[in-house]
């Protein structure tokens, strides 16, 4: 090889250009796909209550074209978009007191898909009682509309988690969209290393300087979730942050905007609770609450008034050059492409949370395919279901002769034990026990 050629011998563009197929088992969500049918076992947040006005809302979830509407009698309906008569879109339907009337031949459908009026047909026509519009069950809760897309005989109890009931907390619903697969939006929640680099070290502090402190990262899995934890030394404090991915597509995280580890905090809770709902294979709709309150994010970067424009602190609709200069979660996730090709990744130890999440997902998807139903949150004891996400900051100064890394690991182990042992408790009693035990731990260390 001559010198000219030799200097380029390590360039791999040509040999690396093949793009294997995506991991369809985990990413394809349409009807009759493995993942799509698995996801249809669960309730999903699909829209905000205030997205429903006087016109039907065209919506696409799990690759299905649908229409969402609220009747004059305030019932919410979610039906197949195309009218069962001859396929006109109910997006152009007229909402009435008890249902939606198709614009084409005037057939009217109730929220459960019952044919209420067949237009020109005689009232004694056999079409009544025979033809139905495909409809899905919905629940409206705290400003969000949830839907269940599976067979009605398998409908699970609607899950209520502990972080839906934090005292003195304002829960502000918001939604935003990502033109990429649901899994990469979900996986962002158990990728704590990105908060050090994307949010701090690479782009400058997007939240707090302290996010750039390279903490000790650990991962834990239980029946409900995969948790990732970061333990950091901040001056005299040990700050333990727990982020959580609840199967299959919910993420919640500790405080975003006030999290700097400088003030003691005993079992602080989540700043957001978000469903990463597949619109189709390459689009995701996040439907979420942002929390405002003393145990979540008391002083927000964003505010209850303009929450729709923000997701995890990043403004949408920024100019293109600004996006390049200061990329946030949106740019990172969407920039991975419409569907990340797992086979092209080079995962390392800090991607352990991602690996744990995918492994469990694959296991559950395969088990479901074999006829085994996945564990539902409601099977884990009475509601509200206890979760772990949040920030705990204990005042534990450095101690002579004690390796701080060992100390941080010991504290995190204790936190884990406290949370695990309080798993059977609920509500205020659980909070009281956890907070008391954390204070005792701090005092005795
Ligand atoms: S297509 Fe809807 S009533 Fe005919
Ligand atoms: Fe992030």
User: For residue 93, how far is its CA from the centre of ligand 1 (angstroms)?
Assistant: 10
Q: Is the pLDDT of residue 160 over 70?
A: yes
What is the overall mean pLDDT for the chain?
Answer: 92
Which of 333, 41, 313 lies closest to 174 in space, CA to CA?
313
Is the CB of 158 inside a 6 Å radius of any atom of ligand 1? no
Q: Is the CB of 301 under 6 A from ligand 1?
A: no
- Considering the domain architecture, whether residues 129 and 243 belong to the same structural domain is answered as no
Say yes or no: CB of residue 83 within 6 Å of ligand 1.
yes
DSSP, res 52: -
Range 142-159 average pLDDT: 97
Tell whether ligand 1 has an atom less than 6 A from the beta carbon of residue 88: yes
Going by pLDDT thresholds of 50, 70 and 90, the confidence category of residue 240 is very high
Q: Are strands 225-234 and 237-246 parallel, antiparallel or unpaired?
A: antiparallel
Range of the domain at 217: 162-374+383-444
Last residue of a domain, one of 134, 154, 174: 154
Same domain? 332 vs 369: yes
pLDDT > 70 in the chain, percent: 95
Q: How many residues does the chain have?
A: 445
Q: Give the ligand 1 atom nearest the CA of 87.
A: 1
Are 145 and 169 in the same domain? no
Residues 85 and 176 in one domain: no
Do 409 and 439 lie in one domain? The reply is yes
- Assess if residue 144 is contained within a domain: yes
pLDDT of residue 439: 97
116 alpha carbon, closest ligand: 1
Residue 424 is assigned to a structural domain of this protein: yes
Report the SS3 class of residue 36.
Answer: helix
pTM of the model: 0.94
Query: What total of structural domains would you count in the chain?
Result: 2
Q: Which of 96, 129, 154 is the last residue of a domain?
A: 154
Contact 351, 191 (CB under 8 A): yes
Q: Cβ(104) to ligand 1 under 6 A?
A: yes
Ligand 2 centre distance from Cα of residue 229 (Å): 14
Protein residue with least CA distance to atom 1, ligand 1? 86
Whether the CB-CB separation of 305 and 172 falls below 8 Å is answered with no
Q: Judge whether 131 lies within some domain.
A: yes
33 Cα distance to chain centroid = 21
> Does the pLDDT of residue 9 top 70, yes or no?
yes
Atom of ligand 1 nearest to the CA of 90: 2
Residues 230 and 265 grouped into a single domain = yes
Judged against a pLDDT cut of 90, whether residue 39 lies above it is answered with yes
Alpha-carbon dihedral 336, 240, 218, 189, rounded to 10 degrees:
-20
**DSSP symbols for 301-346:** SS-TTSGGGEETTEESS--HHHHHHS--HHHHHHHT-SS--GGG--
Given 126, 154, 182, which residue is the final one in a domain?
154
pLDDT in the model for residue 269: 93
The response to whether residue 79 sits with its C-beta less than 6 Å from ligand 1 reads no
CA dist 270 and 308 (Å) reads 18
pLDDT band at 257 (very low <50, low <70, confident <90, very high): low
CB atoms within 10 A of CB 410: 16
Residue 346's pLDDT is: 95
Q: Identify the residue whose tokens are 């993942």.
A: 35
Do 123 and 252 lie in a common domain?
no
Could you tell me if 232 and 332 lie in one domain? yes
Higher pLDDT: 272 or 209? It is: 272
CB-ligand 1 contact for 394 (6 Å cutoff): no
Confidence of residue 354 (pLDDT cuts 50, 70, 90): very high
Q: Output the domain CATH number for residue 66.
A: 2.102.10.10
**1 within a domain of the structure (yes/no):** no
**Residue 214 shares a structural domain with residue 264:** yes
Q: Does residue 172 form part of some domain? A: yes
Measured distance CA(376)–CA(398) in Å, rounded:
43
Q: Is the pLDDT of residue 259 over 80?
A: no
Asked if residue 143 and residue 115 are part of one domain, the reply reads: yes
Any domain includes 25: no
- Verify whether ligand 1 is closer than 6 Å to residue 131 (CB atom): no
Domain contains 344: yes
Q: Are residues 61 and 196 in the same domain?
A: no
- Residue 397 in any domain: the answer is yes
Spatial CB neighbours of 363, under 8 Å, sequence gap ≥ 6: none
């Amino acid at each position: 090889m001559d010198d000219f050629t030799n200097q380029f011998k390590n360039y791999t563009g040509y040999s690396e250009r093949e793009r294997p197929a995506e991991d369809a088992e985990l990413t394809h969500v349409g009807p009759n796909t493995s993942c799509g049918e698995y996801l249809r076992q669960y309730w999903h947040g699909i829209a905000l209550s205030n997205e429903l006005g006087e016109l039907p809302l065209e919506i696409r979830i799990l690759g299905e074209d649908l229409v969402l509407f609220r009747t004059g009698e305030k019932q919410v309906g979610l039906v197949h978009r195309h009218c069962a008569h001859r396929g006109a879109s109910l997006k152009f339907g007229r909402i009435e007191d008890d249902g939606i009337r198709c614009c084409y031949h005037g057939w009217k459908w109730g929220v459960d898909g019952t044919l209420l009026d067949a237009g020109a047909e005689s009232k004694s026509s056999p079409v009544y009682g025979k033809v139905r519009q495909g409809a899905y069950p919905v629940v409206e809760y705290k400003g969000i509309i949830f839907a269940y897309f599976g067979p009605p005989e398998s409908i699970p109890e609607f899950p209520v988690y502990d972080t839906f009931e934090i005292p003195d907390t304002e829960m502000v619903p918001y939604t935003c969209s990502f033109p990429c697969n649901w899994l990469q939006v979900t996986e962002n929640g158990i990728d704590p290393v990105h908060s050090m680099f994307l949010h701090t070290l690479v782009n400058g502090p997007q939240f707090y300087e302290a996010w750039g402190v390279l903490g000790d990262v650990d991962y834990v899995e239980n029946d409900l979730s995969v948790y990732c934890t970061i333990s950091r030394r901040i001056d005299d404090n040990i700050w333990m942050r727990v982020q959580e991915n609840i199967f299959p597509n919910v993420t919640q995280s500790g405080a975003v905007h006030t999290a700097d580890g400088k003030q003691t905090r005993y079992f602080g809770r989540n700043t957001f609770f978000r469903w990463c709902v597949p619109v189709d294979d390459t689009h995701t709709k996040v439907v979420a609450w942002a929390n405002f309150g003393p145990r979540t994010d008391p002083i927000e970067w964003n505010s209850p008034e303009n929450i729709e424009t923000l997701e995890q602190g990043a403004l949408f609709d920024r100019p293109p050059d600004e996006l390049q200069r200061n990329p946030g979660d949106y740019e990172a996730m969407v920039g991975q492409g419409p569907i990340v090709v797992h086979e092209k990744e080079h995962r390392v130890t800090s991607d352990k949370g991602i690996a744990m999440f995918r492994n469990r997902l694959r296991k559950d998807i395969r088990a479901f395919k074999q006829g085994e139903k996945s564990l539902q949150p409601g099977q884990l004891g009475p509601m509200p279901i206890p979760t772990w996400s949040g920030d705990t900051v204990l005042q534990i100064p450095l101690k002579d002769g004690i390796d701080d890394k060992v100390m941080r690991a010991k504290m995190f182990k204790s936190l884990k034990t406290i949370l695990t042992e309080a798993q059977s408790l609920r509500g205020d009693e659980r909070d009281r026990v956890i907070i008391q035990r954390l204070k005792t731990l701090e005092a005795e260390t």
